[in-house]
Amino acid sequence: MKVSVQELQRDAILAVHSQGLRRFAQLAGQYVSRLSLNDRRGEVPSTSLESLRSISLSELSVDVVHRGRVLYGTFIVDAFMISSIATVLQDELNPALAVRVAIYNAVSPNASLAIVQNAYPKNARVAIKEPYLKRAADGGLAIRVDIPANVEILDGDACQRSGGKSSFDDPISLKEKGNAFFGEQKWTRAIDCYGRCIRSIVGQGSENENGKLLVIAYSNRAEAFIRLESYFEALTDCEAALSIDSHHTKSEYRKGRALQGLKRFEEAILCFESLLSRHPESREVQDVLDSMKRSCPDQA
């Protein structure tokens, strides 16, 4: 069953986590077994990140192990542990969405709060391999992780400034690094940098003054997703870019290609026709449109 995005609104999830944090404080850090989900420990860990396709929170289904997929995001709270390590993941593709994460078997039951928060630090960018979404005992949604290796901390490599300082507050540098990785055809690293650029702008609340840069970051990340054949993610980014600048040419073109990749041919043709009506001189758009109409005569 597909999840309702209404259950994944970031602010509501943060409020639930705060309630859990207060409960943790009342227990004075005692280890208790309360929030129980069906145990999946002992399963074989998932494969390397390079072999997995990204998935967004809005695509997840409840009670399904999403084989071959990986969920990217950022831990946005201070973790704590009651029956599991509890934290919150903000979706990289849609920062308005978030989900609780329950990580089991990661540290000793008697581990200190410092150890827990060092293992799963706030503001860390992470990848959750083959995510498993469940309903917790309180009725809310949570991603259950029984194999700690399925949570990879990604901070500290591709998009880090020299000297160890985070580039969170430097979106222009992040975009340029993304472009460099894109030029080297390192699509995953380019996606990482563009994603950090987006989070930096959104995190600073500077969407208005950095609107053009935000559009470019979404659009370029969409192209990188297309190169990886992650067409749903590409479409999501194109629509995010077009929500800011409805006539951004590259985003419109990439939206058409993403729709084509998703085999939503009628929508793709309409997208290309709309673009061509404003840019009749574009040979590239005309060629793609003609090719699609030949391949899909019913949609012509």
Instruction: Output the pLDDT for position 300.
Output: 53
> Are 58 and 5 a contacting pair, CB within 8 Å?
yes
Instruction: Output the pLDDT for position 124.
Output: 85
CA distance 180 to 250: 18
At 129-181, the pLDDT tens digits run 999 999 988 889 999 999 888 998 886 444 554 334 444 458 999 999 999 98
Alpha helix stretches (DSSP H) within 6-122: 10-26, 113-119
Give the single-character DSSP code of 4.
P
CA distance 300 to 297: 5
Instruction: Output the pLDDT for position 65.
Output: 94
Tokens of 170: 């430097």
Where the chain has pLDDT below 70, the residues are: 1, 25-47, 155-169, 297-300
Q: What residues contact residue 89 under an 8 Å CB cut-off, 6+ apart?
A: 71, 73, 74, 75, 76, 98, 99, 100, 101, 126, 128, 143
According to CATH, the superfamily of the domain at 5-153 is Nucleic acid-binding proteins (2.40.50.140)
Find where tokens 């993403």 sit: 258
Q: Say which CATH topology domain 162-299 has.
A: 1.25.40
What are the residues facing 53 on neighbouring strands? 69
Instruction: Output the pLDDT for position 61.
Output: 94
What angle separates helix 249-261 from helix 265-278, to the nearest 10 degrees?
160
CA distance 147 to 171: 34
**For the chain, which residues make up each domain, given as ranges?**
5-153, 162-299
Instruction: Output the pLDDT for position 222.
Output: 94
Instruction: Output the pLDDT for position 199.
Output: 81
Instruction: Output the pLDDT for position 209.
Output: 86
CA distance 14 to 254: 34
CA distance 82 to 202: 31
**pTM for the whole structure:** 0.53
CA distance 207 to 54: 25
Q: State the SS3 of 168-198.
A: CCCHHHHHHHHHHHHHCCCHHHHHHHHHHHH
* Residue 266 host element (H or E): helix 265-278
Instruction: Output the pLDDT for position 169.
Output: 52
